[in-house]
Amino acid sequence: MTVAAAGSLLPVPVALPLTGAVLAPLLARVFKRLALIVSAVALLGSLAVLALIAPKVYGDGGGVLAHYMGGWGPVHGAVLGIAFAADPFGMTFALACAGISTLLVVYALSELGGLGERELGAYACLFQLLVAALIGSALTADLFNLFVWFEVAALASYGLTGFFLERPIALEAAFKIAVLTTIAAFAVFVGAGLLYSGDGALNLAQLHDALAAHVGTADLVALGLLTAGFATKAGLTPFHGWLADAHTAAPGPVSALFSGLMVNLGVVAVGRLAFQVFPTSRVPILGVLMVIGIVSALTGATLALAQDELKRLLAYDTVSQTGVLAIGLATRSASGIAGSTYHLVNHALFKSLLFLCAGSIVHRTGITKLSELGGLLRRWPAVAAAFMVGAASIAGIPPLGGYVSLSLIHRGLTESHQYVPLALMLLAQLITIAALGRAAWLAFLREREEDYEREQPLQPGMLIGLSGLAVCCFAFGVLPGAVIDHVMAPAASGLLHARQYAHAVLAGSGRLPPVSVVFDYTDLTELTIVVVSLVLGALLAYGYLLRSKEPLPVRALRAVHTGSVNDYAAFVVAGVIAVIAALRWAG
């Protein structure tokens, strides 16, 4: 396949789920499960097309393919048309979206297959719209088009969050996510407008060339608005107020889609802005991103430790993990960025797995609180094993994928001599281990005398979803060398070599300079970190279980998180102002 032919296929992975979204409600009237079957086929087709294009993107150290809609290509460096561009960073996210969402649809065939034809048709439609938006955001090379996919994802997420509308928590959660993401969308829209007004461009490559010459005050304000808007989608602190309620209220596969994939849209967008659009040497965006990442990692981990509801615990851990992703990007080193991209995939896998475990527990018992669970290891060993795999991957235990990605981020922080952020990240990791260890003890390991009122069997689709994600968690940990050399190092090159990325987008294709990323599985420092973190995390979990009252940091964070949408909206607005002020002052 020629480069031009591969580039012309870029819209297809987005068009397939969009087509499936249109067909799903219609086919549900013929046979209700057809809605989910056509969804699985459409998403599998997207995965196949992306896999067909991938060798052109990852081969020879990495490259970029571009396709201009309607043939409206650049003229003397000026772009009028909308461009799709596949670089290794975006392609990695797109492949993760297509592959994992296919498993989530298979899982939904069992968990939600008993719904009526109207409900299943609507669910399949919204689900595919959201996945199409995520893949589109991964492949777009146009800032306004990125805003459009942001909005498509937002609209689909409102419906999926409030899917079980008869539950009061679902209605409240849908309202919160609507309010906060609308503020975020407005910030993104205004930021894009400011850049277009000042620089006359919306294409990411053309913006890079324009901003390389000069970055004015309006550009810094635009960057602050865009960063805050996409940080809201990512659930980074202080923009995370919507996340816990939305993840808790949604059905299990939707929570997995939100936490494993949707929040990564914000991380990918911020990464593109920080490296491929704005000159990091003259704009202090990475320092701002590092602070946001550290605060998110610590805040999310601490709140996760304090939760009694399993899905809410996992939701706050998502806040922590997106903070880790931000820290990796902010290192500005090849190891850290490769580790962040690796962790983006790992987070999509292990968090989707954990939310499916939580969904299966709720589906089979009707219980959401950890304090009311127990004995699940003996009753449902498959679910227990899947949960342990996901938790171990988050903890960074070899041979699971989390060990590799976290080690690379640690190396990135060490290479850039950022030892205080490294220490704070390790503290957040310790608290995360305690939170998940406490959850594993309460739900699976301790005994429960009485039987559950509802004990539904684990159905085939649920088993396929859980086992598929668990196997992937192992696969990304067992074969790190091939993954780093052929996927993650090229992804880091695409971000670090923004000039070559911009030239390739404007030229229609191009190669990226090779980047070397070294990983040592037997690094004694990393293995020591794992052992010490596990021991201290276990002690913290034990101490928290025996506590007489909540520690002061937990009480303070609980007091701030009132659940009021007004307060959370105020946090978002304050965050927008703080990011703009930091960029302007430091710049």
Which ranges of 214-284 does DSSP label H, i.e. alpha helix? Answer: 217-234, 243-249, 252-257, 263-272
553 CB-contact burial (10 Å; exposed 0-12 / middle 13-18 / buried 19+):
middle
Q: Are 212 and 256 in contact (CB under 8 A)?
A: no
Q: Return the number of other C-beta atoms located less than 10 Å from residue 101's C-beta.
A: 32
What residues are paired with 203 via a beta bridge?
Answer: 142
pLDDT on residue 296: 97
Number of CB atoms found within 10 A of residue 450's CB: 7
Per-residue pLDDT of the chain (587 residues; tens, 9 = 90+): 788 888 899 999 999 999 999 999 999 888 888 999 999 999 999 999 999 999 999 988 899 999 999 888 888 878 888 999 999 999 999 999 999 999 999 999 888 777 778 889 999 999 999 999 999 999 999 999 999 999 999 999 999 998 887 777 888 999 999 999 999 999 999 999 999 999 999 999 999 999 988 899 999 999 999 999 999 999 999 999 999 999 888 888 999 999 999 999 999 999 999 999 999 888 899 999 999 999 999 999 999 999 999 999 999 999 999 999 999 999 999 999 999 999 999 999 999 999 999 988 887 888 889 989 988 898 889 999 999 999 999 999 999 999 999 999 999 999 999 999 999 999 999 999 999 999 999 999 988 877 777 667 778 888 999 999 999 999 999 989 899 999 999 999 999 999 999 999 999 999 999 999 999 999 999 999 999 999 999 999 999 998 878 888 889 999 999 989 999 999 999 999 999 999 988 76
Tell me the pTM.
0.96
Give every CB contact of residue 72 below 8 A, 6+ residues apart in sequence: 79, 80, 81, 82
Contacts of 419 (CB under 8 A, 6+ apart): 413
Buried b (16+ CB within 10 A) or exposed e, 64-79: bbbbbeeeebbeeeeb
* Contacts for 556 with CB less than 8 Å, ≥ 6 apart: none
Residues 440, 387 contacting (CB under 8 angstroms): yes
pLDDT for position 114:
74
User: Which pLDDT belongs to residue 455?
Assistant: 67
CB-based burial, 484-522: b 16+ in 10 Å, e otherwise: bbbbbbbbbbbbbbbebbbbbbbebbbebeebebebeee
**pLDDT at residue 363, rounded to an integer:** 79
Cβ atoms of 279 and 499 closer than 8 Å: no
Residue type, 3: V
- pLDDT of amino acid 254: 93
Find out whether 492 and 515 touch, Cβ atoms under 8 Å: yes
